[in-house]
Amino acid sequence: MDWTTPLAWMGLGFFWVHTLLMAAHAGAQGAALGRRLRVWASGGLRRARVVEGAGVGRQLAVHRVEQTGRSKGDPKIHFHDRAYHSELEGGALELEDGVVAKLPAGGPVEVWIDPTSQRARADVFGESEFESAHALARKARGFSRVLEHPVCDGDEVWFYGVGEDGAPLMTVSTASATYVGVLVPSPWTPVIATFDPRPWLRGRMWVARLAALGIVTSAVVVTAPMFLWEPFGLEAKLGALGAVIVFNLQQLALKMVRDYTREPSQCHVRGCWRGAAGESTAS
């Protein structure tokens, strides 16, 4: 007996198992974002203005990205992110209804800076700065820098973390990670955002959901020939070849979704400085 046929069916079975795992992963990513959106929609996320910042430069909070830049000798420095920090330096916010919320230094917080502006900030450098950075970037240790995005006195922000009376929400302190197939921050973690985060969350949530659907749909498309035409005929061959290609594309798509849905406090900033003309790009 030639066992090729049952083994090919088994391969299709493995393909589907992994398709469903990847769809579940993307779906869970979307569900995590959706859960935070629901928590915020039920009250708590409000516009606010920073009225007091206890940190240096009257900072209420700061978002830091530690980066290392490396160069192979061409006039470019490619950065990778080493760590992300959100720190509350203490101060007060005046909420839109006039309530003033006092925020102690060192409390749990996620500082959300618009990813586009984070990447734009990563691009700013001077020609003299480039020269010294480039010399270090060519060495094994690389060129280290910290991108800081402060939230200061007078800034308009969106805030989640206190109840109607300005007191901390009961669940705010439980800022632990939650496991829903992926590691996500707790939806109860206080957030200070420099932009309205709801459309951002909603958009990412739908992208993740659609990606989950797309992963399954692509598998259906390449599997269909096995059932619609003669099994193991020409169409089935094309389907099998398509499955090999789609399987790799699904993994890549999941990677893109994972990166795209990283919350702004953890999003990839990276970036690349280009010398001479002083142009730069962030990815």
CB of 195 to another protein, least distance (A): 26
Element (H, E) at 61: strand 59-70
CB of 180 to another protein, least distance (A): 8
Site for another protein in 138-177 (CB under 8 A): 138, 140
Distance CA 45, CA 86 (A): 18
Site for another protein in 14-53 (CB under 8 A): 14, 17-18, 21-22, 24-25
Amino acid occupying residue 14: F
Distance CA 45, CA 201 (A): 13
Element (H, E) at 128: helix 127-137
- DSSP for 80-113? EEEEEEEEE--EEEEETTS-EEEE-TT---EEE-
Q: Which segment (33-41, 166-174, 191-199, 248-256) binds another protein by CB under 8 A?
A: 248-256
61 lies in the site for another protein, by CB under 8 A: no
The binder of another protein chosen from 8, 51, 136, 210 (CB under 8 A): 8
Q: Compose the 203-232 pattern: x for residues touching another protein by CB under 8 A, - for all others.
A: -----------------------------x
2 lies in the site for another protein, by CB under 8 A: yes
Angstrom CA distances, 277 to 31, 76, 280, 281, stand at: 44, 11, 9, 12
85 lies in the site for another protein, by CB under 8 A: no
114 is written with which tokens?
A: 């618009």
Looking only at the bridges linking them, the beta strands covering 191-193 and 59-70 are: unpaired
- Binding stretches for another protein (CB under 8 A): 2-5, 7-8, 10-11, 14, 17-18, 21-22, 24-25, 66, 68, 70-73, 76, 78, 80, 82-83, 138, 140, 179, 181-183, 232, 237, 240-241, 244, 250-252, 254-255, 258
